[in-house]
Amino acid sequence: MMIIFKSKKIALVIFIVAMLLASAKAQDYSQGKAVPLFASHQLMQVIIRGDLKTITDDIGEERQEHPATLLYVAGSDTVALDVQISTRGNFRRKTENCAFPPLRINFKKKQVKGTLFDEINKIKLVTQCRPNSVAYEQYVLEEYLIYRVYNILTDTSFRVRLAQITYIDEGRKDKTWQSYAFFIEPDGDFGNRLQLTESKKKYLMQDSTQLHHISRLAIFEYFIGNTDWAVTTLHNIKLFAVDSLQRPYAVPYDFDWAGVISTDYAEPQPRFDIEKVSDRFFRGQCRTMEEYKANFDFFKYKKAEIYALYEGFEPLRSRQRKDALSYYDKFYETIDNDAMIKIEFIDNCLEKQKH
């Protein structure tokens, strides 16, 4: 039986919802085989042993790799791997911002075969930038959770694995400390999982990427209160495509400047006319009210799963959990109000296009 819609608006809404549901199904988180490290969310126990003072002091532009040992617990056994470690990052690599920079770990291909790090060559490790600070411990955990939230919204997202790391600094008489950190799925493994190839092409407008995906991404960045991203300059964005003839997917990373975390070092960008990073500002392209609402329905559909993630995450302190969920509550209040949708999304978007 054929149904004819007399209202073009109703037909458009149904089409958009159908498109988004098809997109969600196509990008189901269960699809795509992850490398062993990212096949679980179980907290890892890891030891990194080496001359950590020499490693963390090597933060210039001509950084070197330094030998170290990475050990992790696998059941009743401990697996030891010889690795090379270097510092990485931009803001967090500077000593005035972080006492302990993010790391990149380079494995020996033959040695990792059959281990949890099988199929991984080099990997990023997001560390606690001030090891003795409880606040900075929570920052790491909250950024980890943001990656997990985006995993809930789309499979076209970087997976992460949380670890509790014991550092043994042979450069300072085996000084030992422990803190949280998380591994980020390498670009190559991400591409293999989704059968996508990375593109380094810059100066693409948002709407030159996959439309349904960039719409969801822009709303997600508003949801977490993050303005520290840009597709055109590939700022905290990577592009991946099926092939050179297809529009690429924009994939975000690096969320420590998000308003939901509100780190003490994050500052609002003056050009967005916001007073603090917790002030939300929509950076997406213009859409119709119907298109926005179709996307908002998807966020509403995922709300319980997102909230359950925070509520069930024991390492996060109750204060941070309460603040984060309260911050998300305000988003959901906004998207339930047509007048607020117009102000926050449609009016802001139209105003941006005038400049």
Q: Are 87 and 101 in contact (CB under 8 A)?
A: yes
Q: What angle do CA 6, 299, 235 make, to 5 degrees?
A: 115
Using DSSP bridges, classify how beta strands 249-252 and 44-50 pair: parallel, antiparallel or unpaired. unpaired
pLDDT value at residue 350? 58
Q: Domain residue spans in the chain?
A: 10-32+196-353, 36-189
CB distance 179 to 169 below 8 Å: no
Residues near 201 by Cβ (< 8 Å), separated by ≥ 6? 239, 248
Q: What does the pLDDT read at residue 19?
A: 47
Residue whose structure tokens are 């911050």: 327
pLDDT score of 351: 55
Residue 97 CB coordination number (10 Å)? 14
Interhelix angle for 134-153 vs 318-335, to 10°?
40
Q: What is the DSSP string of 4-57?
A: --S-HHHHHHHHHHHHHHHHHHHT-TT-SPPPGGGS--PPEEEEEEE-HHHHHH
Q: What is the pLDDT of residue 25?
A: 43
Beta-strand ranges (E) seen in 75-211 are: 77-87, 103-107, 122-126, 160-169, 175-184, 197-199
pLDDT > 90 fraction of the chain, expressed in percent and rounded: 79
User: Which residues contact residue 2 at a Cβ distance below 8 angstroms, ignoring those fewer than 6 apart?
Assistant: none
- Residues of the chain with pLDDT below 70 are 1-31, 350-355
Note the pTM of the prediction, 2 decimals.
Answer: 0.90
Find the radius of gyration of the CA atoms of the chain. Answer: 21
Collect all residues with Cβ–Cβ distance below 8 Å to 111 and sequence separation of at least 6.
Answer: 81, 82
Residue pair 104/125 in contact (Cβ under 8 Å)? The answer is yes
Query: Minimal CA–CA distance to 32: which of 327, 207, 249, 334?
Result: 249
Distance CA 94, CA 101 (A): 8
Q: Which three-class secondary structure state does DSSP give residue 85?
A: strand
